[in-house]
Homo-oligomer: A and B are copies of this chain.
Amino acid sequence: MTNIILCGGSGTRLWPLSRTLMPKQFVKLFEGESLFQKTVERNQKACDSQFIVSNTEQYFLAVDQIEEHNDDHSKLNIQHLTFLLEPVGRNTAPAIALACLALDPEETVLVTPSDHLIKDEVAYLEAVERAKALAVQGSLVTFGITPQYPETGFGYIEAEGEDVRSFREKPDAQTAQSYLDAGNYYWNSGMFCFKAGTFLDELQSYAPEIFEASVKAYGQAKKDDMIRISHEDMMAIPEDSIDYAVMEQSSRVKVVPSDIAWSDLGSFDALYEELPQDSNGNASSSLNSEIITQQASNNLILSEKLVAAIDVDDLLIVDTADALLVSQKGSSQKVKEVVKKLKERNSELPNIHVTAHRPWGTYTILDESNGYKVKRIVVKPGKRLSLQKHFHRSEHWIVVSGTATVTRGNKEYLVRANESTYIPMGEIHRLENVGKIDLVMIEAQVGEYVGEDDIVRLADDFKRMEN
């Protein structure tokens, strides 16, 4: 069985913790692991290969986290792992269609989001086994989560045994309660199991435009170490969810009731419920620094620096290097309104953290002012930045850990820990870590303009010249 992992996400619901370039599945919320890492690991217990559908920007983050996990724990097998890169998201139906087109029609697939928490793994794997049995017989299987409370933010599935009677839109509070009382209504989890061919057949029947455009896009995709769909072809596929396009239309749908301690962590309120709490009900994560509370209870407190909370209850306090959110618990759905306001103001805060992930490692902006910018740059072993030049800035590099191999003009030389070098404005240069440990470097850029877009790439291991 192949696990198709859908890896999109806008990064708005858990802002400022998540950003467009750091959506929630990649934030290390639980015991130093991300939901993406947990998803990959969990599904390797049921599947022998994995197929990750990701956007171009997040691809390297995903590879990073898989490699890191692999190095640390030898838990992950990246041999049987394929990436399909979407230049732009078109919702779940096209993403799943493109992945299924790459597989044998008889291959059973388990489709999962990458940003959900599943705490009862035994029950989960049992549900997957049951779904697989139904899928092999030609069904489109959805996983119906046993509801724990009358949630109004999810769609519901009305079931009769394993048959689906109806799909229901997000209910009002009273209706949600009646679903809970009835006992045969389940949360629609966004996880599916079917044969690739079954899904494509049903897609062709009920959403032929998506099917045709997906076939064309896949046919024209670049297929080397990964599958890359072109922007034009992707935009030509109508945008729709698998629920609307197929599941709510098809007569071959089954549901596997699943009581698996599931959460979509779709808000800070949901996150609060899943994080460890102290004796006063204050929840924090493994990312936290010290917390001092004085008569404060039932708060979510996320911050990498010290937080003191006095006489406050039921707050969501989410602090990051460049933005702080303080919200009443229960109001976390309004976070997206804040993000909308920021986008209207052309703020970069919804998009990126002070630490940015790049294919070769990370950079963190330490200081920025008129005429200069200071970064900490970490280059992973075996990686190098693009061969590049800048028109408006010179760069001073000081290696504080590891060894840098520097190309400057026609020369190549080493810069060791506690050594420095200088790249004059306009000079072609490249930074590489051929060593075995991280290269950590302080870069001071000096120039009239120190924006990230002052870069001309002449060669790049990561094909970023083509984007």
> What is the interface of chain A, defined by CB distance below 8 A to chain B?
16, 292, 294-295, 303, 305-312, 315, 317, 319, 321-328, 330-332, 334-335, 337-338, 341-342, 347, 349, 364, 366-367, 369-372, 374, 376, 394, 396, 398, 400-401, 417-418, 420, 422, 440, 442, 444, 446-447
Supposing A367-B376, A371-B401, A374-B442 touch, asked if A292 and B326 sit within 8 A by C-beta, the answer is no
Can you pick out 15 interface pairs between chain A and chain B where the beta carbons lie within 8 Å of each other? A292-B342, A294-B331, A305-B323, A306-B342, A307-B323, A307-B324, A308-B325, A308-B326, A310-B327, A366-B374, A367-B376, A372-B401, A374-B374, A396-B420, A417-B446
Contacts known (A305-B324, A371-B401, A422-B420); A312 close to B311, Cβ less than 8 A: no
List the 3 shortest-distance A-B pairs measured between CB atoms, nearest first.
Answer: A310-B327, A311-B328, A372-B400
Q: If the complex has contacts A319-B319, A322-B305, A398-B396, are A327 and B312 also in contact, measured as CB distance less than 8 A?
A: yes
A91 to B310 CA separation, bound complex (whole angstroms): 29
Q: Please, how many angstroms separate the alpha-carbon atoms of A364 and B366 in the complex? A: 11
With the chains together, A95 CA to B211 CA distance in Å?
85
**What's the minimum C-beta distance from A111 to chain B, rounded to whole angstroms?**
34
Of chain B, the residue at the smallest CB distance from A316 is B310
Secondary structure of the A contact surface, majority rule: strand
Q: Across the interface, which residues of B come within 8 angstroms of A347, CB to CB?
A: 306
The one of B328, B370, B372, B400 in contact with A310, judged by C-beta atoms closer than 8 angstroms, is: B328
Contacts of A420 in B (CB 8 A): 396, 420, 422
Q: A446 contacts B305, CB within 8 Å?
A: no
Pick from B303, B325, B326, B341: contact of A315, CB below 8 A.
B326
Q: Residue A319 contacts which of B324, B328, B341, B349 (CB distance < 8 angstroms)?
A: B324
12 extra A-B contacts, CB within 8 A, seeds A306-B323, A310-B332: A305-B323, A308-B327, A310-B327, A310-B328, A310-B334, A311-B331, A312-B328, A366-B366, A367-B442, A371-B400, A372-B440, A400-B446
